Structure 1
Amino acid sequence: MAKQDNDEEKASSSSTTTPPDHLLKALDELSEGSKFLWIVFCLTFTSLMFSGMQSMSYVFTTEIPPHWCEIPDLITANWTQEQIKNISSKDKCNKYDYDYEYLSQLGYEAALNYVKRLGKRPNSSSCDSFSYGNTDRSSIVAEWNLVCDRATDRANTYMALALGKLLGAAVFGVIADKYGRKPTLVIGIIMQIISGPLSAIVPWFWGYMFLRMVTGISLSAVGYPALTMLTEASGSRNRQWLGIAFNIGFPVGIIMLCGVAMFFYSWRQLQMAISIVTLILLFHAWYMPESPRWLISQNRRKEAEKIVTKFYGELEETTAIPMIESNDDNNKKDLINGDGPIKDTFVKNKLMGFTIIYTNPELRSRLFIMWISWLSSSISYWALALNADNFTQDRRIYVLIMALTEIPAYILPSIMLMFMGRRQAGALLYLIGAICLLCILGIPKTNNNAIMAVAVIGRFCLAAVYGIIILYTSELFPTVVRNSAIGTTSVMAQVGTVSAPYIADLLGAIAWWAPSTICGALALVAGLSSLALPETRGRPLADTVEEETAPDREGVSFRKCC
């Protein structure tokens, strides 16, 4: 009788054992190396190249030509540019208030003698309009007079792109999770194909600003789902190096931009050239498969199976796997049935992580330090990239060198973390970058080669540290608040991106050394403050706040900075 009961128990246990999921098994095999994986990688890699081209085109399309006040009376009298500047210009933005109709009748030589006899210069006033010197490249600056009182509008054009990226990441991240990676990608591709060429032909400045924001939104709508699709398509063995290779697509796009800029000297032609090639993304919209893992997570197994069998072949027959309703699914049903307020649940879910962090002194200290780290890294990365005006006369060479050094900067963190902890590696890169950038203060402005060499080394270090602080942030916080911590630090990075053109352009116009000095000071603060953080190398991730703040785990201590 006992034997019979035992046999029945085994039979019952066998019947409740979850059958093998041959769909997931086949997908795991594809993710370790297959035609499917390489198609996803190639399509995602090329999509990021266009992001690099659009993001750095600002350096070429906003070049500031020599400018001075336009004097219509002297132009009508056929005076040369140099003659007009000698008589009228107080500086680039102001003119002397002479009677220019009278001076035009005298002629240049007589007018010059007349001015000398007056002795004292008259009052000055700001320019009503501008004349521009001959340059090899046309820019939006000359077309829309983005100089002097309107110099801020020049930086605003990059701010519009950066703000668009921020909005795109916030909106399309949610859309990609709810409606799928591929639909989001397709929407971004359509937006990019439309907004890019239109920004090359729009005759109004406000229209150009709007289209740059739309382009920024489209870059996030394409870039973030692409990275997610690559992550979900790759196995644990390939995920790290594929992630690094994916990021290299950005500097590769910048290198291509430098090549295109050699042939197109009009900003409209350049913008059209780097925009029209985005038609290639139509192939992405057609050939990029939806993420099978996302389809499976949405219980759309037949669609996932169709994609997997296309690359894997026929699957073994799998016993139907029951759909398991998650707590989120039950919550959604309650909300649909009116059993819970949608707004209250959404707000509670979003604010819970922030509340936990802000009410815990240890986690709050860590978050504040990581805010400094992400902000300084972002400002330094972009401010130095956009600071070509103060470092060199040849923009193509400057941007090309920055892009070429960025490629090994993505690889360096992986090598460093094999031998060092996160805290040591991050602090070392910050401090080396800070020293290089602050050393620029002691280099004469005329020594362009030395300035550029030191700036490139500094930016290389601060670009490399990105790979470390992303990993470090995820390890410093427990699972219950990890996403909230990464979300807020990412926002700080976007704040740095939006701020960068104002630091590079407006402060750089006042003092050529100001952008690099600010970046160096921020990097120094970030490097020293990161030394106060606990080391996370080799320790298991914590799931709860209690585990992370337990007495046996290291905490924040500013004594370690000394």
Structure 2
Amino acid sequence: MRDMAQSVFMAGVLIGAVVFGRLADRFGRRALLIWSYLQMGIAGTCVAFLPTFSCYCVFRFLTGMAFSGVQLNTISLILEWMPPQWRTLAAILPGQSYSLAQVILAGFAYGIREWRWLQFTMSAPFFLFFVYSWFLPESARWLILNNRSSEAVAILRKAAFINGKQEEGEQLTVEIVESQIKGESTLRPSTSILDLVRTPGMRRISCRLMFIWFSTSLGFFIIATELQGFGISIFLVQVAFGVIDIIGKQASFTALDCLGRRPTVAFNLIFAGLLIITNIFVPPEIPTLRTLLATIAKGSLAGAFTCLFMFSGELYPTVLRQTGLGFHSMNARIGAIVAPVVRMTSNYVSFLPAVIIGTAAIVAGAVVCTLTETHKRPLLDTVEELEHRSRRKPQPG
């Protein structure tokens, strides 16, 4: 029943990635973030008091959907508000917070042994986040692209005032902010997920990212499951996962700022793949070395995951950013769903799962090298801009 509930939760995360990603491009990042916090608070709190397993699964599904909404809208608001030089730091901080929360959750679970009270304790704060989210500004880029330039100007003036640039803020006009968005006259709202593959430039990005996200998730969840079978307590596993992820993400942050997005993601994936395949040749009589290699590989994949959220968001234009992130988050969940099936191949050949995920990670790292570098470059806002860049500078490979 526990495994079934976890599968239902992951299904909610998958569906939420598609639904909330699409809706955020239509109704705005802020509105969907507010709704996601409210849904997370209500559904998570109800889970603690429901009397039947079927009801429990329904609300866990809703919690999974809300989780996707919070995750995707947070990264989009960060990318669309931050200037290029601060974008890396701002995008890495939520990833580090996620890993730190794993450690904190382990501490709460150790102290609160009754699962219902633990569930309530972890869910109630989302009502505070719901209230606080009302004070967050909508993406000015999204407002301008949806013919709400006057609202964008008001928000930008407020931001200028907070940052001590009141004089510059007063000089902003609707005409000035609209002039920063190219192709506005040809902009049309996204109508379906097919917009991700409708034009050549979008098609190249989407197809490559599909494979990259799937391969990263597949390897991450298989290694995470394997590490849980090494005979140590769940508490220590959860703490170790959090610490490993923090180290991996911090190393990735440093590389992102120094080397750029493309080499950082590619290195993380190829390095993890090589470690996984190397582990095949380590004798079972040396479990410490096998555990160490698997742990480092998981940290490297965690770093790749964090980088992919930012890299993918920077590759897509504003009008389709949430749709793209939602679609690829769905690909990642499919990788998590396929992971148990790949693990079952060890019943026939013991090292086959390692060969599959190791090879997939290496190939995914090679595919990353064919994407456009986005480090310290301005975000694209329209599909027309993306296609223009694609024609002006063809993508490698």
- Give the structure 1 partner of residue 298 of structure 2: 459
The amino acid of 1:548's aligned partner reads S
Is 1:526 the equivalent of 2:377? no
- Give the structure 2 partner of residue 144 of structure 1: none
Instruction: Specify which structure has the bigger relative contact order, considering alpha-carbon pairs within 8 angstroms and separated by 6 or more residues.
Output: 2
Is 1:400 the equivalent of 2:239? yes
How many residue pairs match? The answer is 383
Is 1:256 the equivalent of 2:97? no
From 191, 197, 221, give the equivalent of 1:354: 197
Is 1:450 the equivalent of 2:298? no
Is 1:290 the equivalent of 2:137? yes
Displacement of 1:232 after TM fit?
Answer: 4.3
Is 1:413 the equivalent of 2:256? no
From 10, 20, 23, give the equivalent of 1:162: 10
Distance 1:213 1:487 in 2: 17
Paired-residue identity, %: 20
Preserved CA contact (<8 Å) 2:153 2:174: no
Structure-2 change in CA distance of 1:444 and 1:393 (3 Å): farther
From 67, 72, 93, give the equivalent of 1:219: 67
Structure-2 change in CA distance of 1:516 and 1:213 (3 Å): farther
By percentage of residues, which structure has more helix? 2
Distance 1:231 1:426 in 2: 18
Is 1:246 the equivalent of 2:94? yes
Displacement of 1:237 after TM fit?
Answer: 3.8
Listed as ranges, the matches of 1:128-527 within 5 Å are 141=2, 154=3, 156-285=4-133, 288-291=135-138, 293=140, 297=144, 298=148, 299-300=150-151, 304=155, 311=162, 318=170, 321=173, 347=191, 351=194, 354-357=197-200, 368-417=207-256, 425-443=264-282, 448-469=287-308, 489-500=328-339, 503=342, 516-527=354-365
In structure 2, the gaps of 5 or more residues are none
Preserved CA contact (<8 Å) 2:157 2:172: no
The amino acid of 1:304's aligned partner reads I
Distance 2:193 2:323 in 1: 8
Structure-2 change in CA distance of 1:480 and 1:315 (3 Å): closer
Please report the RMSD computed on the Cα atoms of aligned residues, expressed in angstroms: 4.6
Structure-2 change in CA distance of 1:455 and 1:182 (3 Å): same
The alignment's TM-score, normalised by the length of structure 2, stands at 0.74
Preserved CA contact (<8 Å) 1:161 1:212: yes
The amino acid of 1:431's aligned partner reads I
Preserved CA contact (<8 Å) 1:157 1:209: yes
Distance 1:549 1:194 in 2: 48
- Give the structure 1 partner of residue 390 of structure 2: 548
Displacement of 1:283 after TM fit?
Answer: 4.6
Preserved CA contact (<8 Å) 1:172 1:220: yes
Distance 1:301 1:472 in 2: 25
Displacement of 1:255 after TM fit?
Answer: 0.9
The amino acid of 1:216's aligned partner reads G
Structure-2 change in CA distance of 1:466 and 1:554 (3 Å): same
Distance 2:391 2:154 in 1: 44
In the TM superposition, what whole-angstrom CA distance separates every residue of 1:291-325 from its partner, at most 9, and x where no partner exists?
37369632236963895598468956958945779
Distance 1:312 1:168 in 2: 35
Displacement of 1:251 after TM fit?
Answer: 0.3
Structure-2 change in CA distance of 1:161 and 1:439 (3 Å): same
Preserved CA contact (<8 Å) 1:188 1:219: yes
In the TM superposition, what whole-angstrom CA distance separates every residue of 1:238-267 from its partner, at most 9, and x where no partner exists?
332111112211101111111112123343
Q: SS of the counterpart of 1:390?
A: coil
The alignment's TM-score, normalised by the length of structure 1, stands at 0.55
Displacement of 1:172 after TM fit?
Answer: 2.9
The amino acid of 1:354's aligned partner reads V
Distance 2:389 2:98 in 1: 38
The amino acid of 1:492's aligned partner reads N
In structure 1, the gaps of 5 or more residues are 1-139, 142-153, 333-344, 557-562
Larger radius of gyration: 1
Displacement of 1:219 after TM fit?
Answer: 1.5
